[in-house]
Amino acid sequence: MDYNVFWFILIVVLFTGFFFLEGFDYGVGTLLPWVSPRDEERTQVIRTIGPVWDGNEVWMITAGGAMFAAFPHVYATMFSTFYLALFLMLVALILRGVAFELRGHTRSICRRRLWDGAICFGSAVPAFLWGVAVTDLLAGLPIGENMAYRGDFFGLLSPVSILGGLAFLFVFAYHGAAFLTLRLTHTGLILRIQSLGLRMATLGTLTFLAWGVLLYQVTDLFATPWAVMLLVLGALFFVMSGLSFSMAKGKAGFMLSSLAIVCTSVSLFVALFPRLMVSSLNPAWSLTITNAASTPYTLSVMTVAALVMVPIVLLYQGWCWYIFRHRVTPDDVKGTH
């Protein structure tokens, strides 16, 4: 295996891990205003991701850093292409992080409602924009011979990309609901979350299937057998997850939704390989793991660093999840109101 392929695989792993972890993270935040009218129950919901949400963001930062180190031309083109979208995402994430911190420092119910809305906005917007971005990468963008984007912000929005954004949003929302059933103990709250989660599962299934149909029409994803198999598996896992969730099997529902997100994420990258950004103007102008890569020496040095640091990061995050593995109870939020 050469360095270019190794780094492509590593980026796939990082983005897949990010979508899996940040998926339920975004989902919890998106559902927050609707899970309960009671402030103490919303606080329990926030507590489920409070110790880990910022750690989940590290996967995105690491993936971006890996992209910059291994494929700098892709990094430059991608960030210039999605400049306004990434700026909007950054504003949403900053607002979300501020809301997590400041919500607990006020006793005013009105202000807490305001911060709850900020958490919802800061979770739903990135989830939607990631779906748009991933779909655009597959469908192709007007990238010129000089690796420069020849469009504007609204050129990123099309029926298939908007549908992709909605699919990501609803799937992540359901993933968050499944996660919450594993992390809470309050029976009434769990029942409301199950009801909300089933609605998200229905919307997620419909938008996912419609998105797949449009992908078939506007991309070459279905020309790659492995990508098709993984995408179909992802759809089946998601449907099975919804069925398990409807039977109050939260653990099975969460595991199956996790598999659905992993299979779907990997299938999209498999369809892209060896490309990283598809040019809709001329296939020869697409950015690939060859024409957009760093020098072999840079890749060799970065490979050694990755082989040392990535396992350490994984062990640390695993340890954090082990420490905060217990369910959140109503007693855990007493005295915080």
* Encoded amino acid at 214, one letter: L
**Per-residue model confidence (pLDDT) at position 335:** 54
Is 110 exposed, middle or buried (CB count within 10 Å of its CB: 0-12, 13-18, 19+)?
exposed
What's the pLDDT at 211?
94
pLDDT per residue as tens, the chain (337 positions): 689 999 999 999 999 999 999 999 999 999 999 998 888 889 999 999 988 888 888 888 889 888 998 999 999 999 888 989 999 999 999 999 999 988 888 888 888 999 999 999 999 999 999 999 999 999 999 999 888 888 887 888 999 999 999 999 999 999 999 999 999 987 789 999 999 999 999 999 999 999 999 999 999 888 899 999 999 999 999 999 999 999 988 889 999 999 999 999 999 999 999 999 999 989 899 999 999 999 989 999 989 988 888 888 888 888 888 887 788 877 766 655 5
Query: How many other CB atoms are found less than 10 A from the CB of residue 142?
Result: 16
List the one residue out of 237, 179, 170 whose CA is nearest residue 199: 170
Tell me how far the alpha carbon of residue 287 is from its chain's centroid: 23
pLDDT of the residue at 311? 87
**CB-based contacts of 297, cutoff 8 Å, min separation 6:** none
Query: Which residues are 184's β-sheet partners?
Result: 328
The whole-angstrom separation of Cα 205 and Cα 104 is 35
> What pLDDT score was predicted for residue 337?
55
CA distance 317 to 21: 11
Residues sharing a CB contact under 8 Å with residue 69, sequence separation 6 or more, in sequence order: 294, 298, 302
pLDDT given for residue 142 in this prediction: 92
Q: With both helix axes pointing from N to C terminus, report the angle between 39-49 and 187-218 in degrees, rounded to the nearest 10.
A: 60
108: amino acid identity, one letter: S
Q: Tell me what pLDDT residue 122 has.
A: 95
The gap between the terminal CA atoms of the chain, to the nearest Å, is 56
